[in-house]
Chains A and B, each alone.
Chain A
Amino acid sequence: MNALWIVLVVVALLAVWVVVSYNRLVGRRNEVDNAWSQIDVQLKRRLDLIPNLVETVKGYASFEKSALEAVIDARAKAMSAAPTPAAQGAADTGLTGALRQLFALSEAYPDLKANTNFLALQEELQNTESRVAYARQFYNDAVERYNNTTQSFPGVIFARSFNFADREYFEAEAAAASVPSVKF
Protein backbone atom coordinates (compact mmCIF):
# COMPACT_ATOMS: atom_id res chain seq x y z
CA MET A 1 0.00 0.00 0.00
CA ASN A 2 2.72 2.41 1.04
CA ALA A 3 4.88 1.47 -1.90
CA LEU A 4 1.99 2.20 -4.24
CA TRP A 5 1.59 5.67 -2.77
CA ILE A 6 5.27 6.41 -3.14
CA VAL A 7 5.18 5.32 -6.78
CA LEU A 8 2.09 7.47 -7.40
CA VAL A 9 3.68 10.55 -5.81
CA VAL A 10 6.87 10.08 -7.77
CA VAL A 11 4.93 9.72 -11.02
CA ALA A 12 2.89 12.85 -10.24
CA LEU A 13 6.03 14.84 -9.45
CA LEU A 14 7.63 13.65 -12.67
CA ALA A 15 4.55 14.71 -14.63
CA VAL A 16 4.66 18.19 -13.06
CA TRP A 17 8.34 18.44 -13.84
CA VAL A 18 7.78 17.50 -17.50
CA VAL A 19 4.96 20.02 -17.86
CA VAL A 20 6.96 22.82 -16.27
CA SER A 21 10.06 22.13 -18.37
CA TYR A 22 8.02 21.87 -21.55
CA ASN A 23 6.18 25.10 -20.84
CA ARG A 24 9.44 26.91 -20.18
CA LEU A 25 10.71 25.82 -23.58
CA VAL A 26 7.53 27.00 -25.27
CA GLY A 27 7.72 30.34 -23.47
CA ARG A 28 11.32 30.92 -24.52
CA ARG A 29 10.57 29.93 -28.11
CA ASN A 30 7.66 32.35 -28.29
CA GLU A 31 9.90 35.07 -26.92
CA VAL A 32 12.30 34.46 -29.79
CA ASP A 33 9.44 34.59 -32.33
CA ASN A 34 8.15 37.79 -30.79
CA ALA A 35 11.62 39.35 -30.92
CA TRP A 36 11.91 38.33 -34.55
CA SER A 37 8.63 40.02 -35.46
CA GLN A 38 9.85 43.17 -33.69
CA ILE A 39 12.78 43.33 -36.11
CA ASP A 40 10.35 42.80 -38.99
CA VAL A 41 8.19 45.71 -37.86
CA GLN A 42 11.16 48.08 -37.81
CA LEU A 43 12.55 46.82 -41.11
CA LYS A 44 9.18 47.22 -42.80
CA ARG A 45 8.92 50.78 -41.50
CA ARG A 46 12.30 51.45 -42.98
CA LEU A 47 11.40 50.00 -46.37
CA ASP A 48 8.21 52.10 -46.41
CA LEU A 49 10.20 55.30 -45.92
CA ILE A 50 12.51 54.73 -48.87
CA PRO A 51 10.07 55.46 -51.76
CA ASN A 52 9.44 58.90 -50.23
CA LEU A 53 13.15 59.50 -50.02
CA VAL A 54 13.67 58.45 -53.63
CA GLU A 55 10.90 60.81 -54.79
CA THR A 56 12.40 63.71 -52.87
CA VAL A 57 15.89 63.16 -54.19
CA LYS A 58 14.72 62.56 -57.79
CA GLY A 59 13.68 66.21 -58.00
CA TYR A 60 17.35 67.16 -58.01
CA ALA A 61 18.16 66.26 -61.59
CA SER A 62 21.87 66.40 -61.23
CA PHE A 63 21.90 63.94 -58.35
CA GLU A 64 23.93 60.79 -58.99
CA LYS A 65 21.62 58.31 -60.71
CA SER A 66 23.78 55.37 -59.66
CA ALA A 67 23.42 56.12 -55.95
CA LEU A 68 19.63 56.32 -56.28
CA GLU A 69 19.45 53.12 -58.29
CA ALA A 70 21.62 51.36 -55.73
CA VAL A 71 19.12 52.28 -53.03
CA ILE A 72 16.14 51.14 -55.13
CA ASP A 73 17.89 47.86 -55.94
CA ALA A 74 18.85 47.24 -52.34
CA ARG A 75 15.26 47.90 -51.24
CA ALA A 76 13.92 45.40 -53.77
CA LYS A 77 16.40 42.81 -52.55
CA ALA A 78 15.44 43.44 -48.92
CA MET A 79 11.73 43.07 -49.78
CA SER A 80 12.29 39.64 -51.32
CA ALA A 81 14.84 38.34 -48.83
CA ALA A 82 14.17 34.95 -47.27
CA PRO A 83 12.97 35.22 -43.66
CA THR A 84 16.13 33.89 -42.01
CA PRO A 85 18.50 35.98 -39.90
CA ALA A 86 21.38 35.39 -42.33
CA ALA A 87 19.50 36.31 -45.54
CA GLN A 88 17.74 39.29 -44.00
CA GLY A 89 20.94 40.50 -42.44
CA ALA A 90 22.77 40.41 -45.75
CA ALA A 91 19.97 42.25 -47.59
CA ASP A 92 19.73 44.84 -44.88
CA THR A 93 23.47 45.42 -44.83
CA GLY A 94 23.29 46.17 -48.57
CA LEU A 95 20.47 48.65 -47.99
CA THR A 96 22.29 50.35 -45.12
CA GLY A 97 25.39 50.73 -47.28
CA ALA A 98 23.43 52.19 -50.22
CA LEU A 99 21.60 54.63 -47.94
CA ARG A 100 24.81 55.77 -46.30
CA GLN A 101 26.33 56.36 -49.69
CA LEU A 102 23.32 58.45 -50.71
CA PHE A 103 23.39 60.55 -47.54
CA ALA A 104 27.14 61.05 -47.84
CA LEU A 105 26.70 62.25 -51.44
CA SER A 106 23.89 64.62 -50.42
CA GLU A 107 26.47 66.66 -48.50
CA ALA A 108 27.52 68.10 -51.86
CA TYR A 109 23.99 69.40 -52.64
CA PRO A 110 23.18 72.46 -50.54
CA ASP A 111 19.64 72.68 -51.99
CA LEU A 112 18.93 69.13 -51.00
CA LYS A 113 20.43 69.67 -47.56
CA ALA A 114 18.07 72.63 -47.12
CA ASN A 115 15.00 70.60 -48.10
CA THR A 116 13.04 70.09 -44.88
CA ASN A 117 11.33 67.01 -46.28
CA PHE A 118 14.69 65.44 -47.01
CA LEU A 119 16.03 66.31 -43.58
CA ALA A 120 12.98 64.85 -41.87
CA LEU A 121 13.29 61.64 -43.90
CA GLN A 122 16.99 61.41 -43.14
CA GLU A 123 16.37 61.73 -39.42
CA GLU A 124 13.50 59.26 -39.55
CA LEU A 125 15.62 56.72 -41.41
CA GLN A 126 18.49 57.10 -38.97
CA ASN A 127 16.11 56.62 -36.05
CA THR A 128 14.65 53.53 -37.65
CA GLU A 129 18.10 52.17 -38.30
CA SER A 130 19.02 52.43 -34.63
CA ARG A 131 15.69 50.82 -33.74
CA VAL A 132 16.49 47.93 -36.04
CA ALA A 133 19.78 47.57 -34.16
CA TYR A 134 17.98 47.61 -30.81
CA ALA A 135 15.44 45.06 -32.03
CA ARG A 136 18.25 42.76 -33.17
CA GLN A 137 19.92 43.08 -29.81
CA PHE A 138 16.68 42.01 -28.14
CA TYR A 139 16.37 39.13 -30.59
CA ASN A 140 19.89 37.94 -29.85
CA ASP A 141 19.21 38.11 -26.10
CA ALA A 142 16.06 36.06 -26.60
CA VAL A 143 17.92 33.52 -28.75
CA GLU A 144 20.62 33.23 -26.10
CA ARG A 145 18.05 32.51 -23.39
CA TYR A 146 16.26 30.01 -25.63
CA ASN A 147 19.41 28.20 -26.72
CA ASN A 148 20.66 28.08 -23.14
CA THR A 149 17.42 26.39 -22.16
CA THR A 150 17.41 23.88 -25.02
CA GLN A 151 21.08 23.00 -24.61
CA SER A 152 21.34 22.63 -20.85
CA PHE A 153 19.80 20.03 -18.54
CA PRO A 154 16.86 19.36 -18.19
CA GLY A 155 15.71 21.31 -21.23
CA VAL A 156 17.95 19.28 -23.50
CA ILE A 157 15.93 16.09 -22.90
CA PHE A 158 12.65 17.72 -23.92
CA ALA A 159 14.18 19.83 -26.66
CA ARG A 160 15.31 16.64 -28.38
CA SER A 161 12.10 14.69 -27.95
CA PHE A 162 9.73 17.60 -28.73
CA ASN A 163 11.81 18.94 -31.60
CA PHE A 164 12.89 22.35 -30.31
CA ALA A 165 15.66 23.29 -32.75
CA ASP A 166 18.36 25.79 -31.86
CA ARG A 167 17.90 29.29 -33.27
CA GLU A 168 20.34 31.31 -35.29
CA TYR A 169 21.93 34.51 -33.95
CA PHE A 170 21.86 37.74 -35.86
CA GLU A 171 25.44 38.60 -36.68
CA ALA A 172 26.54 42.00 -37.91
CA GLU A 173 28.53 41.69 -41.09
CA ALA A 174 31.79 43.44 -41.68
CA ALA A 175 30.24 45.70 -44.32
CA ALA A 176 27.78 47.15 -41.80
CA ALA A 177 30.64 48.53 -39.73
CA SER A 178 32.54 50.12 -42.61
CA VAL A 179 32.41 53.83 -43.43
CA PRO A 180 31.03 54.79 -46.85
CA SER A 181 33.54 56.12 -49.35
CA VAL A 182 32.62 59.24 -51.28
CA LYS A 183 34.16 60.43 -54.49
CA PHE A 184 33.17 63.71 -56.12
Chain B
Amino acid sequence: MAVGVLIGNGTLGTVVALAFSGVTAFVSYWKSDAIALRMSRAVPADPVAYKRLHNLVEGLCIAGGLPKPRVYVINDPAPNAFATGRNPRNAAIAVTTGLLDKMNRVELEGVVAHELSHVKNYDILVMTLAVTLVGAVAILTDIALRMMWWNGGRLHRSGDHDDRGNPLAIVGLVLLVVAPLLARAMQAAVSRRRETLADVSAVQLTRYPPGLISALEKLQADSTVTHSASMATAHMWIEQPLSGVNDTGRLGFFHKLFDTHPPLAERIALLREI
Protein backbone atom coordinates (compact mmCIF):
# COMPACT_ATOMS: atom_id res chain seq x y z
CA MET B 1 0.00 0.00 0.00
CA ALA B 2 2.71 2.42 1.01
CA VAL B 3 4.70 0.92 -1.86
CA GLY B 4 1.97 2.06 -4.23
CA VAL B 5 2.22 5.62 -2.98
CA LEU B 6 6.00 5.60 -3.31
CA ILE B 7 5.92 4.22 -6.82
CA GLY B 8 3.17 6.66 -7.68
CA ASN B 9 1.33 4.10 -9.76
CA GLY B 10 -2.15 3.27 -8.53
CA THR B 11 -2.66 0.04 -10.44
CA LEU B 12 0.71 -1.43 -9.56
CA GLY B 13 0.24 -0.36 -5.96
CA THR B 14 -3.08 -2.11 -5.76
CA VAL B 15 -1.69 -5.27 -7.30
CA VAL B 16 1.23 -5.23 -4.87
CA ALA B 17 -1.14 -4.65 -1.96
CA LEU B 18 -3.43 -7.47 -3.05
CA ALA B 19 -0.54 -9.87 -3.55
CA PHE B 20 0.93 -8.92 -0.20
CA SER B 21 -2.35 -9.43 1.65
CA GLY B 22 -2.98 -12.67 -0.24
CA VAL B 23 0.38 -14.03 0.87
CA THR B 24 -0.27 -12.80 4.40
CA ALA B 25 -3.66 -14.50 4.50
CA PHE B 26 -2.22 -17.75 3.15
CA VAL B 27 0.67 -17.73 5.59
CA SER B 28 -1.63 -16.86 8.49
CA TYR B 29 -3.92 -19.76 7.56
CA TRP B 30 -1.15 -22.35 7.35
CA LYS B 31 1.37 -21.04 9.84
CA SER B 32 -0.65 -19.05 12.38
CA ASP B 33 -0.12 -21.67 15.08
CA ALA B 34 3.63 -21.80 14.63
CA ILE B 35 3.85 -18.00 14.62
CA ALA B 36 1.67 -17.63 17.71
CA LEU B 37 3.62 -20.31 19.57
CA ARG B 38 6.95 -18.79 18.61
CA MET B 39 5.79 -15.32 19.62
CA SER B 40 4.79 -16.64 23.04
CA ARG B 41 8.04 -18.57 23.43
CA ALA B 42 6.16 -21.83 23.90
CA VAL B 43 8.10 -25.10 24.00
CA PRO B 44 6.63 -28.60 23.51
CA ALA B 45 5.58 -30.10 26.84
CA ASP B 46 7.71 -33.09 27.80
CA PRO B 47 5.39 -36.14 28.14
CA VAL B 48 7.23 -37.35 31.25
CA ALA B 49 7.74 -34.09 33.12
CA TYR B 50 4.22 -32.86 32.32
CA LYS B 51 2.45 -36.19 32.62
CA ARG B 52 -0.52 -34.74 34.51
CA LEU B 53 -1.14 -32.14 31.80
CA HIS B 54 -0.84 -34.71 29.01
CA ASN B 55 -3.22 -37.07 30.80
CA LEU B 56 -5.76 -34.30 31.30
CA VAL B 57 -5.63 -33.23 27.67
CA GLU B 58 -5.93 -36.83 26.46
CA GLY B 59 -8.90 -37.55 28.71
CA LEU B 60 -10.79 -34.43 27.70
CA CYS B 61 -10.09 -35.12 24.04
CA ILE B 62 -11.70 -38.51 24.44
CA ALA B 63 -14.72 -36.84 26.05
CA GLY B 64 -14.98 -34.33 23.21
CA GLY B 65 -14.20 -36.79 20.42
CA LEU B 66 -11.19 -34.73 19.33
CA PRO B 67 -7.75 -35.82 18.18
CA LYS B 68 -5.15 -34.90 20.77
CA PRO B 69 -3.62 -31.50 19.98
CA ARG B 70 0.07 -30.71 20.43
CA VAL B 71 0.72 -29.54 23.99
CA TYR B 72 3.07 -26.65 24.77
CA VAL B 73 4.34 -25.04 27.94
CA ILE B 74 5.35 -21.39 28.35
CA ASN B 75 7.78 -20.45 31.06
CA ASP B 76 5.87 -17.55 32.59
CA PRO B 77 4.73 -17.12 36.21
CA ALA B 78 1.40 -15.59 35.17
CA PRO B 79 -1.38 -18.18 34.94
CA ASN B 80 -2.77 -18.20 31.41
CA ALA B 81 -3.39 -20.47 28.43
CA PHE B 82 -4.32 -20.34 24.76
CA ALA B 83 -5.23 -22.54 21.81
CA THR B 84 -4.18 -22.08 18.21
CA GLY B 85 -4.20 -23.83 14.85
CA ARG B 86 -6.59 -24.00 11.93
CA ASN B 87 -8.68 -27.12 12.64
CA PRO B 88 -8.86 -29.85 15.29
CA ARG B 89 -6.33 -31.96 13.37
CA ASN B 90 -3.79 -29.16 13.31
CA ALA B 91 -4.23 -27.60 16.71
CA ALA B 92 -2.02 -26.79 19.65
CA ILE B 93 -2.73 -25.65 23.16
CA ALA B 94 -0.23 -23.86 25.36
CA VAL B 95 -0.31 -23.24 29.10
CA THR B 96 2.03 -21.21 31.26
CA THR B 97 4.04 -22.77 34.06
CA GLY B 98 2.24 -20.33 36.37
CA LEU B 99 -1.06 -21.97 35.50
CA LEU B 100 0.32 -25.44 36.26
CA ASP B 101 1.65 -24.25 39.62
CA LYS B 102 -1.40 -22.34 40.79
CA MET B 103 -4.28 -24.54 39.65
CA ASN B 104 -5.38 -27.83 41.17
CA ARG B 105 -6.56 -30.72 39.05
CA VAL B 106 -10.21 -29.74 38.57
CA GLU B 107 -9.29 -26.13 37.86
CA LEU B 108 -6.67 -27.13 35.32
CA GLU B 109 -9.23 -29.46 33.79
CA GLY B 110 -11.63 -26.53 33.43
CA VAL B 111 -9.01 -24.36 31.73
CA VAL B 112 -7.87 -27.13 29.37
CA ALA B 113 -11.52 -27.87 28.53
CA HIS B 114 -12.01 -24.17 27.72
CA GLU B 115 -9.06 -24.24 25.32
CA LEU B 116 -10.20 -27.51 23.73
CA SER B 117 -13.62 -25.93 23.21
CA HIS B 118 -11.91 -23.20 21.18
CA VAL B 119 -10.42 -25.97 19.07
CA LYS B 120 -13.69 -27.86 18.76
CA ASN B 121 -15.77 -24.75 17.93
CA TYR B 122 -13.23 -23.71 15.27
CA ASP B 123 -12.62 -20.46 17.17
CA ILE B 124 -8.96 -20.82 16.34
CA LEU B 125 -9.88 -20.53 12.66
CA VAL B 126 -12.42 -17.75 13.30
CA MET B 127 -9.69 -15.67 14.89
CA THR B 128 -7.42 -16.22 11.91
CA LEU B 129 -10.23 -15.18 9.57
CA ALA B 130 -10.90 -12.09 11.69
CA VAL B 131 -7.29 -11.04 11.21
CA THR B 132 -7.56 -11.59 7.45
CA LEU B 133 -10.84 -9.66 7.34
CA VAL B 134 -9.25 -6.72 9.08
CA GLY B 135 -6.60 -6.79 6.36
CA ALA B 136 -9.25 -6.73 3.63
CA VAL B 137 -10.93 -3.68 5.16
CA ALA B 138 -7.57 -1.93 5.11
CA ILE B 139 -7.17 -2.63 1.37
CA LEU B 140 -10.66 -1.30 0.56
CA THR B 141 -9.87 1.85 2.47
CA ASP B 142 -6.67 2.20 0.53
CA ILE B 143 -8.38 1.85 -2.85
CA ALA B 144 -11.09 4.36 -1.97
CA LEU B 145 -8.49 6.77 -0.75
CA ARG B 146 -6.47 6.51 -3.94
CA MET B 147 -9.56 7.50 -5.90
CA MET B 148 -9.67 10.67 -3.86
CA TRP B 149 -6.05 11.61 -4.50
CA TRP B 150 -5.71 10.66 -8.10
CA ASN B 151 -9.29 11.17 -9.20
CA GLY B 152 -9.55 7.57 -10.17
CA GLY B 153 -6.74 7.89 -12.70
CA ARG B 154 -8.62 10.35 -14.94
CA LEU B 155 -6.73 13.35 -16.15
CA HIS B 156 -7.76 16.75 -14.93
CA ARG B 157 -8.74 18.82 -17.96
CA SER B 158 -8.98 22.51 -18.29
CA GLY B 159 -12.56 23.60 -18.05
CA ASP B 160 -13.31 20.77 -15.77
CA HIS B 161 -14.36 22.83 -12.80
CA ASP B 162 -16.47 20.18 -11.31
CA ASP B 163 -14.35 19.89 -8.19
CA ARG B 164 -16.87 18.17 -5.97
CA GLY B 165 -14.68 15.10 -6.32
CA ASN B 166 -15.54 11.50 -6.48
CA PRO B 167 -18.23 10.54 -3.96
CA LEU B 168 -16.27 7.35 -3.33
CA ALA B 169 -13.41 9.48 -2.11
CA ILE B 170 -15.56 10.81 0.71
CA VAL B 171 -16.51 7.25 1.61
CA GLY B 172 -12.82 6.46 1.54
CA LEU B 173 -12.00 9.30 3.88
CA VAL B 174 -14.65 8.18 6.33
CA LEU B 175 -13.52 4.56 6.03
CA LEU B 176 -9.92 5.57 6.55
CA VAL B 177 -10.79 7.01 9.93
CA VAL B 178 -13.42 4.50 10.99
CA ALA B 179 -12.26 1.21 9.44
CA PRO B 180 -9.33 0.35 11.72
CA LEU B 181 -11.44 1.14 14.76
CA LEU B 182 -14.36 -0.83 13.36
CA ALA B 183 -12.10 -3.74 12.53
CA ARG B 184 -10.63 -3.83 16.03
CA ALA B 185 -14.08 -3.58 17.60
CA MET B 186 -15.34 -6.39 15.37
CA GLN B 187 -12.35 -8.57 16.23
CA ALA B 188 -13.00 -7.93 19.90
CA ALA B 189 -16.72 -8.64 19.62
CA VAL B 190 -16.17 -11.92 17.81
CA SER B 191 -13.60 -12.88 20.41
CA ARG B 192 -15.82 -12.02 23.37
CA ARG B 193 -18.75 -14.05 22.11
CA ARG B 194 -16.49 -17.01 21.44
CA GLU B 195 -15.00 -16.79 24.94
CA THR B 196 -18.44 -17.09 26.49
CA LEU B 197 -19.30 -19.98 24.19
CA ALA B 198 -16.03 -21.73 25.06
CA ASP B 199 -16.77 -21.34 28.79
CA VAL B 200 -20.13 -23.02 28.34
CA SER B 201 -18.77 -25.80 26.10
CA ALA B 202 -15.96 -26.41 28.58
CA VAL B 203 -18.51 -27.13 31.28
CA GLN B 204 -20.26 -29.50 28.89
CA LEU B 205 -16.96 -31.38 28.57
CA THR B 206 -16.03 -31.57 32.25
CA ARG B 207 -19.63 -31.76 33.57
CA TYR B 208 -18.32 -29.82 36.54
CA PRO B 209 -18.91 -26.04 36.49
CA PRO B 210 -17.21 -25.38 39.88
CA GLY B 211 -13.84 -26.37 38.36
CA LEU B 212 -13.81 -23.62 35.75
CA ILE B 213 -15.48 -21.12 38.10
CA SER B 214 -12.77 -21.67 40.68
CA ALA B 215 -10.09 -21.36 37.99
CA LEU B 216 -11.54 -18.06 36.74
CA GLU B 217 -11.70 -16.77 40.30
CA LYS B 218 -8.04 -17.58 40.74
CA LEU B 219 -7.26 -15.74 37.52
CA GLN B 220 -9.26 -12.80 38.81
CA ALA B 221 -7.35 -12.73 42.06
CA ASP B 222 -4.02 -13.04 40.29
CA SER B 223 -2.60 -9.78 39.04
CA THR B 224 0.57 -11.07 37.37
CA VAL B 225 0.90 -9.77 33.83
CA THR B 226 1.52 -12.38 31.17
CA HIS B 227 4.80 -11.22 29.65
CA SER B 228 4.68 -13.70 26.81
CA ALA B 229 1.56 -12.08 25.37
CA SER B 230 1.44 -9.17 22.97
CA MET B 231 -1.34 -7.04 21.48
CA ALA B 232 -1.41 -9.33 18.45
CA THR B 233 -2.08 -12.48 20.43
CA ALA B 234 -4.23 -10.92 23.17
CA HIS B 235 -7.50 -12.38 21.90
CA MET B 236 -6.25 -15.94 22.10
CA TRP B 237 -5.58 -16.27 25.82
CA ILE B 238 -8.08 -17.52 28.37
CA GLU B 239 -7.74 -14.33 30.36
CA GLN B 240 -7.02 -10.86 28.99
CA PRO B 241 -3.23 -10.99 29.31
CA LEU B 242 -2.36 -7.29 29.13
CA SER B 243 -2.36 -4.87 31.99
CA GLY B 244 -4.17 -1.55 31.76
CA VAL B 245 -7.57 -3.20 31.67
CA ASN B 246 -8.68 -4.41 35.03
CA ASP B 247 -11.10 -7.26 35.28
CA THR B 248 -12.59 -6.40 38.62
CA GLY B 249 -14.27 -3.04 38.28
CA ARG B 250 -16.94 -2.04 35.80
CA LEU B 251 -15.46 -1.21 32.46
CA GLY B 252 -16.25 1.97 30.63
CA PHE B 253 -18.11 1.77 27.33
CA PHE B 254 -14.97 2.40 25.33
CA HIS B 255 -12.99 -0.28 27.09
CA LYS B 256 -15.88 -2.68 26.71
CA LEU B 257 -15.93 -2.06 22.98
CA PHE B 258 -12.29 -2.96 22.46
CA ASP B 259 -11.88 -5.69 25.04
CA THR B 260 -11.10 -9.07 23.58
CA HIS B 261 -12.61 -10.81 26.61
CA PRO B 262 -15.75 -10.22 28.68
CA PRO B 263 -14.90 -9.24 32.26
CA LEU B 264 -14.07 -12.28 34.39
CA ALA B 265 -16.81 -11.33 36.85
CA GLU B 266 -19.38 -11.57 34.04
CA ARG B 267 -18.03 -14.93 32.93
CA ILE B 268 -18.14 -16.32 36.46
CA ALA B 269 -21.68 -15.05 36.98
CA LEU B 270 -22.77 -16.75 33.76
CA LEU B 271 -21.23 -20.06 34.76
CA ARG B 272 -22.94 -19.94 38.14
CA GLU B 273 -26.29 -19.93 36.37
CA ILE B 274 -25.64 -23.32 34.80
- Bound complex: CA A141 to CA B201 (Å): 13
- Bound complex: CA A141 to CA B64 (Å): 9
Of B31-39, B53-61, B169-177, the segment with at least 4 beta carbons within 8 Å of chain A is B53-61
For B, the interface residue count at a CB cutoff of 8 angstroms equals 9
Q: A134 near B55 (CB under 8 angstroms)? A: no
Does chain B have a CB within 8 A of A101? Answer: no
Does chain A have a CB within 8 A of B65? Answer: yes
Interface of B is mostly: helix
For A, the interface residue count at a CB cutoff of 8 angstroms equals 14
Q: B65 near A131 (CB under 8 angstroms)? A: no
Contact A137-B207, Cβ < 8 Å, known A35-B65, A142-B65: yes
- Bound complex: CA A137 to CA B113 (Å): 14
24 inter-chain pairs at a CB distance below 8 angstroms, sorted by A residue, are: A31-B65, A34-B65, A35-B65, A38-B62, A38-B65, A42-B62, A127-B55, A127-B59, A130-B59, A131-B58, A131-B62, A134-B59, A134-B60, A134-B62, A134-B63, A135-B63, A137-B63, A137-B207, A138-B62, A138-B63, A138-B64, A138-B65, A141-B65, A142-B65
Interface residues in B57-105 (C-beta closer than 8 Å to A): 58-60, 62-65
- Bound complex: CA A134 to CA B68 (Å): 14
Shortest Cβ distance from residue A176 to the other chain B in the assembled complex, whole angstroms: 15
Interface residues in A85-143 (C-beta closer than 8 Å to B): 127, 130-131, 134-135, 137-138, 141-142
CB < 8 Å A-B pair total: 26
Shortest Cβ distance from residue A6 to the other chain B in the assembled complex, whole angstroms: 39
Q: Among B58, B62, B64, B65, find the residue whose CB has the most chain A CB atoms closer than 10 A.
A: B62
What is B's interface to A at a CB cutoff of 8 Å? 55, 58-60, 62-65, 207
A-B CB proximity, top 10 nearest: A134-B63, A134-B62, A134-B59, A137-B63, A138-B65, A135-B62, A138-B63, A131-B59, A127-B55, A130-B59
- Bound complex: CA A34 to CA B64 (Å): 12
Q: Which residues from B are CB-within-8-Å of A35?
A: 65
Interface of A is mostly: helix
Q: Which partner residue on chain B sits nearest A126 by CB separation?
A: B55
Shortest Cβ distance from residue A131 to the other chain B in the assembled complex, whole angstroms: 5
Shortest Cβ distance from residue A150 to the other chain B in the assembled complex, whole angstroms: 19
- Bound complex: CA A28 to CA B55 (Å): 28
Q: Among B55, B63, B207, find the residue whose CB has the most chain A CB atoms closer than 10 A.
A: B63
Q: Among A42, A131, A142, find the residue whose CB has the most chain B CB atoms closer than 10 A.
A: A131
Q: Which residues from A are CB-within-8-Å of B58?
A: 131
Q: Which residues from A are CB-within-8-Å of B55?
A: 127
- Bound complex: CA A142 to CA B64 (Å): 10
Q: Which partner residue on chain A sits nearest B56 by CB separation?
A: A130
Q: Which residues from B are CB-within-8-Å of A127?
A: 55, 59
- Bound complex: CA A134 to CA B116 (Å): 14
Q: Which residues from B are CB-within-8-Å of A141?
A: 65
- Bound complex: CA A35 to CA B62 (Å): 9
Q: Among A35, A127, A134, find the residue whose CB has the most chain B CB atoms closer than 10 A.
A: A134
